[in-house]
Homo-oligomer: A and B are copies of this chain.
Amino acid sequence: MSGKNRLIVLASRPKGEVGPENFRLVEAEIPEVGPGEVLVRNRFLSLDPYMRGRMDETKSYAAAQSLGEVMIGGTAGEVIESRNPKFAVGDPVIGMFGWQLYGKSDGSMLRKVDTTQVPLSAYLGCAGMPGVTAWYGLNRIVAPKTGETVVVSAASGAVGSVVGQLAKRKGCRVVGVAGGESKCRIVTGEYGFDACIDYKAGRLYEDLRAATPDGIDGCFENVGGEVFDAVLRRMNAFGRIAVCGLIAGYDGKAMPVHNFRSVLVNRLRIEGFIVAEHMNAWPEALRELGALVAAGELKYRETIAQGLENAPEAFIGLLKGRNIGKQLVKLDRE
């Protein structure tokens, strides 16, 4: 293999907001492939909010990322060398190789995918981890019935947009919350939500009330903070809330919940979850999501940064909500 591998490591832990100084781009040798192993050239890197948690040293649901190590991340690429009979050169594969151009694997955490009907990049979005996250939280926690009202925060995002579309398919009234008019237009126009609240417009609770005349039965929470508090005020009896992310508090900002009393008054069930801990749900979810994407029935958008060196800036943008849909980094320039 000619050339070098390039990777981005965690240079320092953020104090508050993430900055470019927290990352460092380094070069390394391309890994040698041993017996049973495969070498993958990554084409796309997935950027996801959970990575922010890994950058801190404090207790989170996963071990903190070590300083000096390659940043964690899902990747979509192509087998370029194989000493494993299960993989052939040219196979499109999804892995967790992190922020780098090449990855080596014994095949155990590598998934071969079919790109004839579903584009490779979609396997990092609605036909991959974010899609399964949406599927699991909606079906296994919120479990909405026809006619119920479901609210989704970060509705234009890779997860939220799938939650809303799946809930619509179940016959729910679906209300999104997103930042800014243009995102809201995509949420209602493209993804078919019944309504979308722009939380930046300064009338969060009033707008939410107007959009949920029958109250809220289910909530898929990606944000926390003020949005979550407004939702709590509108919850109906026996409502269910899947807590998938609390991005409002990711930079250590205080994020008090003021309307917790609603949990008692309305006998709510709130459940935090991490999709990687529910692997038994993945096959069914991936089958369903892949079929919907192939049939053009699940809409998605991608924001694609060009080149590994631009991953830090794209990630910072993601945390600030600058992306629309799934944030990816394209790792090759051809």
Could you list which residues of chain A lie within 8 angstroms of chain B, going by C-beta atoms?
Answer: 53, 59-61, 224, 228, 237, 243-246, 249, 254-258, 260-261, 263-274, 277
Distance from A261 Cβ to chain B, minimum over Cβ atoms (Å): 5
Report how far A270 CA is from B269 CA in the complex, Å: 6
In the complex, which residues of chain B have a beta carbon less than 8 angstroms from the beta carbon of A260?
Answer: 224, 228, 246, 255-257, 260
In the complex, which residues of chain B have a beta carbon less than 8 angstroms from the beta carbon of A228?
Answer: 260
User: With contacts A268-B271, A269-B271, A271-B268 known, is A243 near B263, CB below 8 A?
Assistant: yes
Query: Do A263 and B267 have beta carbons less than 8 Å apart?
Result: no
A sample of 14 inter-chain contacts (CB < 8 A) reads A59-B265, A61-B267, A224-B260, A224-B261, A228-B260, A243-B264, A246-B261, A255-B260, A255-B261, A267-B272, A267-B273, A268-B272, A269-B270, A269-B271
Query: Do A265 and B224 have beta carbons less than 8 Å apart?
Result: no
Copy number of this protein in the oligomer? 2
Query: Do B271 and A246 have beta carbons less than 8 Å apart?
Result: no
User: With contacts A61-B237, A256-B256, A258-B256 known, is A272 near B277, CB below 8 A?
Assistant: no
Query: Do B270 and A263 have beta carbons less than 8 Å apart?
Result: yes
In the complex, which residues of chain B have a beta carbon less than 8 angstroms from the beta carbon of A267?
Answer: 61, 271-274, 277
Query: Do A269 and B269 have beta carbons less than 8 Å apart?
Result: yes
Distance from A179 Cβ to chain B, minimum over Cβ atoms (Å): 20
Nearest B-chain residue to A263, judged by Cβ: B272
Report how far A59 CA is from B243 CA in the complex, Å: 25
User: A249 touches which one: B261, B272, B277 (CB < 8 A)?
Assistant: B261
Report how far A39 CA is from B258 CA in the complex, Å: 46
Distance from A227 Cβ to chain B, minimum over Cβ atoms (Å): 13
In the complex, which residues of chain B have a beta carbon less than 8 angstroms from the beta carbon of A254?
Answer: 258
In the complex, which residues of chain B have a beta carbon less than 8 angstroms from the beta carbon of A265?
Answer: 53, 59-61, 272
Nearest B-chain residue to A248, judged by Cβ: B261
Report how far A183 CA is from B286 CA in the complex, Å: 54
Distance from A269 Cβ to chain B, minimum over Cβ atoms (Å): 5
